[in-house]
Structure formats: C-alpha cells, structure tokens
Structure 1
Amino acid sequence: MVSTLDDTKRLSIATKLADMRALQNLLINNEQQFIENCTDDDIRHRLQNMLEDDRKNLGVLDTAIVQYGVKGESTTSTQKMIEQIQERMASSDLSLFEKVQEHELLKHRQTMAGLLIHKAAQVVGADIEAAIAPLNTVNFENRAHQEQLKGILEIFGVRELTGLEAKQGLWARVQDAVAALTGVVGSVVTRTDSEMSIRELLLMDHSKADILFMEILNASDPQKIQEYFGQLYKDIKVHGTAEEQVLYPAIRPYYEHTQEIFEQTDEVMEMLDEIKPVDPASSEFKAKIKQLRTAVRTHINQEENDIFPKLRDNFSHDQLLQMATEFKTAKSKLQSSIADSELAKH
C-alpha cells in the first residue's frame, strides 16, 4: 500500500533544486549591482551578457523544477548564506574585485550543485534524468561564466594592486574555453527557456511517464515500485489536470473529439486512485499498472497524432509559447497543492 507519495531521495533532490533557484536569484542581483558600479564598458558588456544568460537560466530552472514534479524548499543554511552575501555585496568595505571574486565562487557552487543533481538522478531513477534535462543549459553556461569571471578578476585585480592594465593573455584563454564549451553543448547552450512550446513540454511529460512505467514494471523491490508509482501518480494527476485547465479548452474549437480526450483523462485519474491502495508486492499491482500504461499510451497517441497537428495549424508561435507558460504555471500550482496536502498529513 502506498502510504505516502513522497520519497526521501527525491525530496533531497527537490531541496537541492530549490537551493539552486534561490542562488540563481542572488547571482542575478549581484550582476545587476556590478553593472551599476563598473565603469569599464567592455566588462559591463560582458556582465550584461552574463546577466541575460542568468535571467534566462532562472526560467530554465523553473522548467526543470516543474518537470521534476516534486516540490522542495530551500534549506535554512542556504537562506542564511544568501543573506550574509547580500550584506557583503551591499557593504562599502569590499572592493569590486573582492565582490566579483566572491561571485565567481558562487558560480562554482551553482555549477557543482547542478552536476550533483545529475549524478544523483543517475542512481535514483531514469525518469529524473529525463525531467531535469533542461538543467544542462544552466550547468554548461555557469562553467562558461566562471571562465569569463576569471578574466574579469585578472583585470580588476591588477588594477587594484598596481593601478595599471593587465596583459590580455588570459582573455584569449577565456575565449578559447568558452568556445570549447559552446562547441560541446551545441544548441543546448543557445536555447532559451522561452523557445520551449507547449508541444515540447507535453512531449517531455509523455517521455517521463513512459520511463516511470518501465521502471515500475522492471523493478522487483516493493519499496522501489512504491517510489516510482508515487512519482507517476503525482505526475499524471498534475499533467492531466493542467491539460484540462489549459490545453483542452484552447483546442476545443479546432478538435471535434475534445470531449473524448476529457473522458480519457478522467478514466486515467480513476485508474490511478484504484491502484493507489493496492500492495506493490502483489501480482495484482503490476497487472493494473499494465492496464494503466495501455490507457495512458492510447491517450498519448491520440494527443500526439491528432492534437499536435491542430496546435501547429491553428496557433501562432507566440500563442504556443504563451500556452506553455500557462501550462507550466498550472502544473506548479498543482504540485504545490499536492505538497501542502502531504505536509498536512504529517
């Protein structure tokens, strides 16, 4: 019997994602201050580009968190650390060099947090790896930013120590490093969160559901089965409800079988609730999971084969992006509601 929809490993990853989001806001605030206080036009330009990346990456983080499907809160230690750094950044006791030096360390911290989440995902579940795929953008761009910041620190540091300009050797190495990173990542680095349409968000959800079904059916440990089903239960409930709120009303004027899609979604929701109290160790559990997978796959096939062309033919690019934003917002609110409900039970 599934007593809880939460798993401690998944909650730990959710907490680390929340820490990353809190730190991302700090990075943005720092860079805004640096731009205001810097008189070097070249460095201001580099910082402005970094700021634009980080604003975009905040949206990427939000997407990864919503796709992950488990709500977490930033730790007290992270919140205290951020407050302390905000005080130091506002202080006149530190030079601009010292503030940027501290900022570079924060970039390193953010990079390592992202890499740690990916490593944790590899040992917890393939569905997590799929959900947090957008995080690749943040991780690689933070590494590129670290190289940029090293060049800025060299210039500021030499000026502070000698009053003279630094030789530009490091900038060449920085440019080579950034170019290499960009070459490795390819389109992932240049992709912006705003380019992710409703179709892509739906496909990510569909792929994650497929992986969770595979993980459940291949697992033999009842505890692992319970963990995977707990995630599947939440994901499908949130996905289906968000579709009913955002996607189906929008597509109804162009798709005559919209009511059928509503009914399919409701049927899947009922099947989930029927499975929830069943013992994961019983043969009945996996039999019901197979029936659920068939129902979900039928729904997905109809959505991808019938609704996706309707989206392409009847909605502008901007409308599809707006629908994606509304879908992501609806999912986030539903996930928070589930998290609050689980917390109230404890």
Structure 2
Amino acid sequence: MVSTLDDTKRLAIATKLADMKALQNLLINNEEKLIQDCTDDDIRKRLQDMLESDRKNLGVIDTAIVQYGVQSELKETTQKLIEEVQKLIEGSELTLFEKVFEQELLKHKQTMTGLLIHKAAQVVGADIEAAIAPLNAVNFENRAHQEQLKGVLEILGVRELTGQDAKQGLWARVEDAVAALTGVAGSVVTRTDDEMSIRDLLRMDHTKADTLFAEILGADDPQKIQEYFGQLYKDIKVHGTAEEQVLYPAIRPYYEHTQEIYEQTDEVMEMLDEIKPLDPASSEFKAKIEQLRTATRNHINQEEKDVFALIKENFSHEQQKQMATEFKTAKSQLQDQMAAANA
C-alpha cells in the first residue's frame, strides 16, 4: 500500500532547507543592523545592495521549499546559533569589523548549505533537483556576497589596526571576482524580480511531475517506487487543489474551457486515490501509473498551450507575480494540512 512518504534522505534535505530559510532571515536582520552602524558611504551602499538581494533570495528559498513539498523544522543547533549571532550583532562587545566577520562566516555557512542541498539532490532523485532548481541563483549570489564581504573586511580591518585606509585597487579585485561568478551563473544572478510569475511556478510543478513519473516507471525496487509515488501523490494533490483555489477562478472570465480543466484536475486526483492502495510491486500498479501519466500530461499540455497564453495576454507582470504569491501560499498551507493529517 502506497500512502505516505517516509524517506529519511528527503526529510534530511527538508531540514537543511528549513535551516537555510532561518539563516536567510538572520542575514537580512544583520545587514539592516550593520547598515545602521556603518558610517562609510561606499560600504553602506554595498551592504544595502546585498540586503536587497537577500530579501529577494528569501522569496526564492520560500519557493524552493514549497516546490520541494516536504516539511521540516530547523535543527535545534541552528536555532541556538541564530540566537548567539543575533546577540553579538545587536550588542556592543564586537567592533564593526568583528560583526562583519560574523556575517561573512554566516554567508559561508549559507553558501555551503545551498551547495550541499544541490549535491544531495543529485544523489537522491531527479525530482528533487527540479524542485530546488531556484536555489542555484541563491548559491551563486551568496558566493558573490562572500567576495564583497571579504573586501569590506579588509577595509575595516586595516582601518582598525592602523587608522589608515587600505591600498587602492581592492574593490577592483572584488568586482573582478564577482563578475567571474556572474559570468558562470548567467542571468540568474542579475534578476530583478523577487517572485517568479505564475507560469514559472506551474511549469516547475509540471517538470517535477514528469520527472517523478519517469522515476516511478524506471524503478524496479518497490521501496523506491513507494518513495517516488508518495511524493507524486502529495505534489499533484497540492498542485491541483491550489489551482482550483487560485488559478481557475482568476482565468474563468477569459477561458471558456475552465470547467473542463476543473474536471481534468478532479479526474487526475481521483486516479491518484485509486492507485494509492495498490501494491507497488504489482504489474497493475505501473499500468495505472501509465494511465495517470497520460491524463496528467493531457492536462498539462492544455494548460501550457491555452492557459499560459491567456495569462500572458490578460494579466500584467505584477498581476502574474501576485497570482504566483497566492498560489505558493495556498500550496504551503495545503502541505501543512497534509503533514498534520499524516502526523
């Protein structure tokens, strides 16, 4: 019987994602305090730019967590670290140099956490790689931030030790390092939006579903099949319900086939419930999965062909971002409800 997802590897990644979100909030709070404490206009400007990027990246991390679809609390040790660093940054015991040094250490920790999640996803499952893809932009930006903070540390450190400014050319070296990272990352590092459009989020869900279907049908181990189906079951249930709450009511005035896609969604979710009690080792299970994949793909094709076009034609860029925010919020709430029901 395939009913719930209980996979330690996926739960471990979920915990790392929760840690990453908590650390991101800490980084933002620290930057706000450092900007207040700093009197150097150039450094303040660089910290302000970093703060704006980190605020955007908090939204990206939120998106990755929702797309991932496995809920977890942050580690107790992470919570203790946050409390300790907050006390240091808000207190008067450390110099500005020492506070920035703490921030650079946090940036390093955040960068390594993001890279670790990315590498773990490559090992655990292609569907996880699809879900956490937005983190790639965050990882590259954090590396760029590290280079900038190193430059800030050199300037502040030399001033504290000697009372004089560091030699010229420091920022040029830092900018070269940042430019090199930007060249590797491409446009993801220079994006301006803090939220993807609704079409981006839907397309990510569709890609993840396609990946999970491929993983199920390509697996022979019943335990792995159960793992993949458990994730697929949760993802499609949450995705379909969120569409019915947010997307379909919004497009109804512009799309005469709205009722048809409501019915397609309900059909797919009913098929999921029919498969749920089946033995994953049986031939019937994979036959039913093939039928489910066909029904899901038909729905996706219609959505990406018709609905995406009318969204582009009838909703402004800001409206599409707002719809994405509402869709993501609905998914997060549904995931919480599902987790509570299975607890």
What is the identity, as a one-letter code, of the residue corresponding to 1:262? Y
Partner of 1:16: 16
Q: Counterparts of 2:287 and 2:32 in 1: how far apart (Å)?
A: 56
Q: Counterparts of 1:3 and 1:208 in 2: how far apart (Å)?
A: 19
Greater shift in the superposed pair: 118-127 or 163-172 = 163-172
Task: Decide whether the 8 Å contact of 2:9 with 2:124 is kept in 1.
Answer: yes
Partner of 2:223: 223
Task: Decide whether the 8 Å contact of 1:57 with 1:193 is kept in 2.
Answer: no
What is the identity, as a one-letter code, of the residue corresponding to 2:327? F
Q: Deviations over 1:41-92 (max 9, x none)?
A: 0000000000001001001101111111111111111001100111111221
What is the identity, as a one-letter code, of the residue corresponding to 1:274? E
1:307-322 paired onto structure 2 within 5 Å:
307-322=307-322
Task: Quickly say closer, same or farther: Cα 1:125–1:193, change in 2 above 3 A.
Answer: farther
Q: Counterparts of 1:117 and 1:168 in 2: how far apart (Å)?
A: 38
What is the identity, as a one-letter code, of the residue corresponding to 2:94? L
Q: How far is the alpha carbon of 1:4 from its aligned partner?
A: 2.2
Partner of 2:208: 208
Partner of 1:56: 56
1:12-161 paired onto structure 2 within 5 Å:
12-161=12-161
Partner of 1:336: 336
Q: How far is the alpha carbon of 1:192 from its aligned partner?
A: 4.0
Task: Decide whether the 8 Å contact of 1:126 with 1:211 is kept in 2.
Answer: yes
Q: Counterparts of 1:93 and 1:306 in 2: how far apart (Å)?
A: 60
What is the identity, as a one-letter code, of the residue corresponding to 1:159? R
Q: How far is the alpha carbon of 1:318 from its aligned partner?
A: 1.5
Q: How far is the alpha carbon of 1:195 from its aligned partner?
A: 5.1
Q: Counterparts of 2:234 and 2:192 in 1: how far apart (Å)?
A: 27
Q: Counterparts of 1:313 and 1:102 in 2: how far apart (Å)?
A: 48
Report the RMSD for the aligned CA atoms in angstroms: 1.0
Task: Decide whether the 8 Å contact of 2:30 with 2:89 is kept in 1.
Answer: yes
- Give SS of 2:208's match: helix
Partner of 2:303: 303
Which runs of 5 or more residues in structure 1 are unaligned?
none
What is the identity, as a one-letter code, of the residue corresponding to 2:8? T
Partner of 1:261: 261
Greater shift in the superposed pair: 40-49 or 310-319 = 310-319
Q: How far is the alpha carbon of 1:257 from its aligned partner?
A: 1.2
Greater shift in the superposed pair: 49-58 or 195-204 = 195-204
What is the identity, as a one-letter code, of the residue corresponding to 1:46? R
Q: Structure 2 length normalisation: TM-score?
A: 0.98
Q: Structure 1 length normalisation: TM-score?
A: 0.97
- Give SS of 1:194's match: coil
1:167-206 paired onto structure 2 within 5 Å:
167-194=167-194, 196-206=196-206
What is the identity, as a one-letter code, of the residue corresponding to 1:166? A
Q: Counterparts of 2:266 and 2:20 in 1: how far apart (Å)?
A: 35
Greater shift in the superposed pair: 71-80 or 109-118 = 71-80
Q: How far is the alpha carbon of 1:170 from its aligned partner?
A: 3.0
Greater shift in the superposed pair: 81-90 or 186-195 = 186-195
Q: Counterparts of 2:76 and 2:118 in 1: how far apart (Å)?
A: 23
Q: How far is the alpha carbon of 1:162 from its aligned partner?
A: 1.0
Q: How far is the alpha carbon of 1:213 from its aligned partner?
A: 0.2
1:218-257 paired onto structure 2 within 5 Å:
218-257=218-257
Q: Deviations over 1:274-312 (max 9, x none)?
A: 111111111111011001001101111111112112112
Q: Counterparts of 2:327 and 2:124 in 1: how far apart (Å)?
A: 27
1:284-303 paired onto structure 2 within 5 Å:
284-303=284-303
Q: Counterparts of 1:61 and 1:190 in 2: how far apart (Å)?
A: 17
Aligned-residue identity in percent: 80
Which runs of 5 or more residues in structure 2 are unaligned?
none
Number of equivalent positions: 343
Q: Counterparts of 1:322 and 1:134 in 2: how far apart (Å)?
A: 18
Task: Decide whether the 8 Å contact of 1:60 with 1:193 is kept in 2.
Answer: no
- Give SS of 2:31's match: helix
Runs of 4+ in 1 over 4 A off after TM superposition: none
Q: How far is the alpha carbon of 1:171 from its aligned partner?
A: 2.1
Task: Decide whether the 8 Å contact of 2:60 with 2:195 is kept in 1.
Answer: no
